[in-house]
Chain A
Amino acid sequence: MSKYFRRKLFIYVLTFFLAVTIDWLIPRFMPGNPIQVLIARANLKAESAKVVYSYYMRAFGLDVPIWNQYANFWNALFHGDFGTSLWLFPQPVIKIILRAVPYDILLLLPAILLSWFAGNKFGAFAARSKWLDNTVSPLGYVLTATPYMWLGMLLAWTFGIVLRVLPFSGAYSYALMPTLSWIFIWSLLEHWILPFVSLFMVMFGGWAIGMRNMIIYELEADYSHYLETLGAPRRLIRRYAFRNALLPQITGLALQLGVIVAGALVTEIVFSYPGIGYLILQAIQNHDYFLLQGCFLFVIIGVLLANLAIDVTYVLVDPRTRTGMQGER
């Protein structure tokens, strides 16, 4: 078992190194110069802009050769320094990310977990009954094919502007500052509903369809037919089918949880929800190398952790993995 995990660990470290390198490289492939963008927004006098330009090039270490920048990047990273944002200058990247991440978790974690749970239950249920299969499955397809943007705007318009029952902008009332108080928590909940519902509905559709198809596939598998010929009750066969069908869904869930820090871009834009997705979009648009690097670093760590979790979970839930590992000895 330890050999299995040692090998996995080695692969993780290697993946981390490569992924971070790519993460560093990709923003620098974008055409244009980030300092130019910074200057363009500042609307400076031409004569002063020249001074400011060379000043910023130095300040961000962009005036040294590219290999040197790469070395500086790793050096800084090992010292826990993520750099300074260009777009939100002079805020440190880590501060910007840490302020945004809680909102992503608040929004996405319940949406992912609940939609996974409900979607799987419903999918499995739908596979069992013709009537449900004819109603829920098409609904699932429609939901999962719905663009978030459109659904979000529809919800915001209906409940926010026409019916005026739910707020549609921000993570809590604009009249409040974050405090540990009932009114704030209530406001947080109220503002959470619409973005949550839009995410939940679309994700739910995806999980439900996946599960339904998987169950049908498993019920047609040899072991199901074998059980059937042995005269096992249908309930038992379905239970085994469900367990097997769940495995890919677990992988899917873990991967979704891994990218949780990347946020839900479109939802955040439609509902002005202050998560990381919107930051990533702006970082790209503003050539903010450092913020982009920082955001993706979190995503890389998240995905790797999620993969590790899958590896461990499979050992626990899938006896075949355990057997395989014993065979290794």
Chain B
Amino acid sequence: MWSRTRLVLCMLLAVSVILGLTGGLVLGQAFPRNETLYTGGKQWGPVSNWNPFMAGNQAMGTIGLCYETLFLYDPLTDQFIPWLAESGKWLSSTVYELKVRQGVKWSDGQPLTAADVKFTFDLGKTAALNITSLWDWLDNIVQVGDYYLEFHFKQALYQEWANNLYNIAIVPQHIWASRNATTVSTGANENPIGSGPYLFFAVDQVKMVWVRNDNWWAKTALGKSVAPKYIVDLVNTSNENSLGLVLQGQEDLNNNYLPGISTLLLGGYALHTYFPGAPYHLAANTAWLDINLQKKPMGDVNFRKALAYAINVADIVSRDYGNMVQAANATGLLPTWDKYVDQAVINSLGTSYDPVKAKQTLTAAGYKDVNGDGFVEAPDGSKIALKIIVPNGWSDWMAAIQIISSNAQAVGINVQPNYPDFNGYLDARLNGTFDLAIDNQQQISNTPWSYYHFIFYDKLADIPSTQGGNYGRYNNPTAFALVSQLDKVPTSDLAGMKAVISQIQTIQLTDLPIIPLWYNGMWAQMSTAYWTGWPSSADGDAHYLPVTWNGYWNMTSILMLCNLTAK
């Protein structure tokens, strides 16, 4: 019996120790629900850094909530909104004038001046940053006084420059000047000091918490203030878990792809999407088919044409996506770039689903079924067996390539779906070992140049290290030259842009280096359980992008926060 007595004694001791430890505890502080916005969809692992130069894995809102850009860009109206800059304009063909907004303060109280802006751009000269390549065509920056700058260019790339204006976040010189190049480009930058509407509050394994900066400059300068006191960004582990949180109203804004939105909207949940009906979400990027032109028979344009005729995109849109996406235009240009689409070119050269035409094109080009297995052989008699790849686990894309494969098989092209892991998929594209692959790497932006620069990326040998695009290795110096030429057209010259783009489109639709398929959405499930005033397409509602992904806060998502009201 001695052991039982000892056990009781041990337990008593343990209980008293725990009580002693916790006895003096106060009630913990929780974020008040009506002042807190819960977001999710950007972060797939614990938060690792707040470095505005480390695009990709920086914490949600590092650029946008904490660090800010010179301008915002509104893709829906194609307008630049002065932000840290008061104004900017081209003085001559190679000199850009920038007036920095007065009265902006860093969160430590120091003023933000032209010196900070110049310093930020200059960092690209010494450290390996995303702005480093800017210095290939930027000559120098002249600062006159505290709020005026002139950028002198060796060669003005107007389209690209406009893109930089709303993507480069300005950092405080007084903090970053003492850092070495390595820390600048790869440091974690804990406790970030920015100019934006939110301050770093706390971080743990599963979330990042921002707290409102009540001294934000836009309050006085623009009469704007952000509504939520706290923004808690949650780490995703699975779409199922996120879906549960949204349905329960725990997460206010979720930017994951959650299938079946149409049913959920009718399911009595306090759920809101940008469009009340299909496609529910705005278009964020184009999904297209990468075709490896180095391999037979994809090098043959007639084969690519036949493939384009064979694919039933409408079927993918309705069956795979439940109409949550839209079929892409033949050029692949996003709906926000509609004005650049040359309809005449599409009418004469565009392809769309037409299996009969697909078969005719194959036959006319000499592809026929020689051995009677139901699939065509190449004109030289060699067998055709192609694989189409997407990363394993990307369920919507996996379903899409099943449809594409059966479409291709229906016209006699032997295409089989294949799902390597993400790295295998990436590697196959970078090294050009794939046959067919789905790609969507170009996000919405201020200029179709970014899209064309990607699909007509000209440094073919550099693709594995630059990931610059053109994974099918399409080689056409005329097209490459046109894309470079487009970069040099001033953004104000719409007619000039259209003229170049029309030529590019003619080449694109004639040669078909890629096949545009559908537009992936800016997946945004908004819950009206605790917050209202969400962006929507309805008249009178705010038309902002409801997305927390990198690069979207500075495309008007930040204005969404100014428009919210607690319920």
Tell me if B46 and A287 are in contact (CB < 8 A).
no
B234 neighbours in A (Cβ, 8 Å): 170, 174, 272
B284 neighbours in A (Cβ, 8 Å): none
**Chain A contacts with B in 27-69, Cβ cutoff 8 A:** 30-33, 36-55, 59
B348 in contact (CB, < 8 A)? no
B38 neighbours in A (Cβ, 8 Å): 174
Closest Cβ of chain B to A102, distance in Å, is 10
Tell me if B130 and A44 are in contact (CB < 8 A).
yes
Given contacts A176-B28, A181-B26, contact A89 B54 (CB under 8 A): yes
Tell me if A49 and B430 are in contact (CB < 8 A).
no
B396 in contact (CB, < 8 A)? no
**Residue interface mask A273-295, B partner, CB < 8 A = 1:** 01000110010011100000000
Tell me if A173 and B30 are in contact (CB < 8 A).
yes
A interface: dominant SS? helix
Tell me if B466 and A274 are in contact (CB < 8 A).
no
A24 in contact (CB, < 8 A)? no
A171 neighbours in B (Cβ, 8 Å): 205-206
Tell me if B128 and A55 are in contact (CB < 8 A).
yes
Partner of B57, one of A41, A59, A278: A41
A287 to B423, CA, bound (A): 7
A296 in contact (CB, < 8 A)? no
A174 neighbours in B (Cβ, 8 Å): 38, 206-207, 232, 234, 250
**Chain A contacts with B in 165-188, Cβ cutoff 8 A:** 168-171, 173-185
Closest to B203 in A: A177
Binding site for B on A (CB under 8 A): 30-33, 36-55, 59, 85, 87-91, 96, 99-100, 103, 153, 156-157, 160-161, 164, 168-171, 173-185, 268-272, 274, 278-279, 282, 285-287
B541 in contact (CB, < 8 A)? no
Tell me if A168 and B130 are in contact (CB < 8 A).
no
B16 neighbours in A (Cβ, 8 Å): none
Tell me if B202 and A272 are in contact (CB < 8 A).
no
Given contacts A50-B462, A90-B49, contact A31 B423 (CB under 8 A): yes
B457 neighbours in A (Cβ, 8 Å): 46
A272 to B40, CA, bound (A): 13
A282 to B469, CA, bound (A): 25
Q: Would you list 23 pairs from A and B whose C-beta atoms are within 8 A, ordered by A residue?
A: A36-B426, A36-B467, A37-B422, A43-B55, A43-B441, A47-B136, A47-B468, A55-B128, A89-B186, A160-B248, A169-B241, A174-B207, A174-B232, A175-B31, A175-B33, A176-B29, A176-B31, A185-B22, A269-B241, A270-B241, A282-B45, A285-B423, A286-B423
Tell me if A272 and B206 are in contact (CB < 8 A).
yes
B489 neighbours in A (Cβ, 8 Å): none
Known: A46-B468, A52-B130, A99-B205. 8 other contacts (CB 8 A): A30-B423, A50-B462, A59-B182, A160-B248, A174-B234, A183-B28, A272-B238, A278-B237
Closest to B240 in A: A153
Closest to A180 in B: B25
B136 neighbours in A (Cβ, 8 Å): 47
**Chain B contacts with A in 209-263, Cβ cutoff 8 A:** 209, 232, 234-238, 240-241, 244-245, 247-248, 250
Closest Cβ of chain B to A62, distance in Å, is 13
Tell me if A42 and B25 are in contact (CB < 8 A).
no
A274 neighbours in B (Cβ, 8 Å): 46, 205-206, 235
A278 to B237, CA, bound (A): 8
A161 neighbours in B (Cβ, 8 Å): 244, 247-248
Tell me if A269 and B466 are in contact (CB < 8 A).
no
Given contacts A41-B57, A42-B56, A156-B244, contact A48 B133 (CB under 8 A): yes
Partner of A49, one of B28, B250, B421, B467: B467
Q: What 10 A-B pairs have minimum CB-CB distances, sorted nearest first?
A: A46-B468, A47-B133, A181-B28, A42-B56, A32-B423, A274-B205, A88-B48, A32-B427, A183-B28, A46-B466
B424 in contact (CB, < 8 A)? yes
A91 neighbours in B (Cβ, 8 Å): 46, 48-49, 188
Tell me if A169 and B57 are in contact (CB < 8 A).
no
Closest to B27 in A: A183
A87 to B54, CA, bound (A): 12
B241 neighbours in A (Cβ, 8 Å): 156, 168-169, 269-272
Tell me if A36 and B464 are in contact (CB < 8 A).
yes
Closest Cβ of chain B to A233, distance in Å, is 22
Tell me if B54 and A169 are in contact (CB < 8 A).
no
B443 in contact (CB, < 8 A)? yes
A67 to B531, CA, bound (A): 57
Tell me if B130 and A48 are in contact (CB < 8 A).
yes
A41 to B250, CA, bound (A): 28
B132 in contact (CB, < 8 A)? yes
B447 in contact (CB, < 8 A)? no
A89 neighbours in B (Cβ, 8 Å): 48-49, 54, 57, 186
Tell me if A178 and B204 are in contact (CB < 8 A).
yes
B129 in contact (CB, < 8 A)? yes
A40 to B235, CA, bound (A): 20
B131 in contact (CB, < 8 A)? yes
Given contacts A36-B426, A44-B130, A90-B187, contact A177 B235 (CB under 8 A): no
B36 in contact (CB, < 8 A)? yes
**Residue interface mask B435-477, A partner, CB < 8 A = 1:** 0000001010000000001000101001011111100000000
* Residue in B45, B48, B238 with the greatest tally of chain A CB atoms within 10 Å: B45
**Residue interface mask B352-380, A partner, CB < 8 A = 1:** 00000000000000000000000000000
B275 in contact (CB, < 8 A)? no
A157 neighbours in B (Cβ, 8 Å): 244
Given contacts A43-B441, A46-B466, contact A182 B422 (CB under 8 A): no
B90 in contact (CB, < 8 A)? no
A50 neighbours in B (Cβ, 8 Å): 462, 465-466
* Residue in A103, A160, A170 with the greatest tally of chain B CB atoms within 10 Å: A170
A38 to B209, CA, bound (A): 25
A48 neighbours in B (Cβ, 8 Å): 128-133
A287 neighbours in B (Cβ, 8 Å): 423
Closest Cβ of chain A to B456, distance in Å, is 12
A182 to B38, CA, bound (A): 23
Tell me if A99 and B46 are in contact (CB < 8 A).
yes
B113 in contact (CB, < 8 A)? no
B550 in contact (CB, < 8 A)? yes
B185 in contact (CB, < 8 A)? yes
Closest Cβ of chain A to B164, distance in Å, is 9
Tell me if B28 and A42 are in contact (CB < 8 A).
no
B427 neighbours in A (Cβ, 8 Å): 31-33, 36
Closest Cβ of chain A to B136, distance in Å, is 7
Tell me if A53 and B423 are in contact (CB < 8 A).
no
A59 to B54, CA, bound (A): 15
A182 neighbours in B (Cβ, 8 Å): 22, 25, 27-28
A148 to B31, CA, bound (A): 33
A46 to B250, CA, bound (A): 39
Closest Cβ of chain A to B188, distance in Å, is 5
Partner of B30, one of A90, A176, A286: A176
**Chain B contacts with A in 2-31, Cβ cutoff 8 A:** 21-22, 25-31
Closest Cβ of chain A to B161, distance in Å, is 12
Tell me if B45 and A31 are in contact (CB < 8 A).
no
A30 neighbours in B (Cβ, 8 Å): 423
Closest Cβ of chain A to B555, distance in Å, is 14
Closest Cβ of chain B to A40, distance in Å, is 6
Tell me if B424 and A31 are in contact (CB < 8 A).
yes
A36 to B425, CA, bound (A): 11
B207 neighbours in A (Cβ, 8 Å): 174
A40 to B56, CA, bound (A): 8
A201 to B417, CA, bound (A): 38
B29 neighbours in A (Cβ, 8 Å): 176-177, 179
Tell me if A169 and B245 are in contact (CB < 8 A).
yes
A227 to B443, CA, bound (A): 78
Tell me if A51 and B28 are in contact (CB < 8 A).
no
**Chain B contacts with A in 359-415, Cβ cutoff 8 A:** none
**Chain B contacts with A in 310-325, Cβ cutoff 8 A:** none
Tell me if A285 and B421 are in contact (CB < 8 A).
yes
A33 neighbours in B (Cβ, 8 Å): 427
Tell me if A88 and B45 are in contact (CB < 8 A).
yes
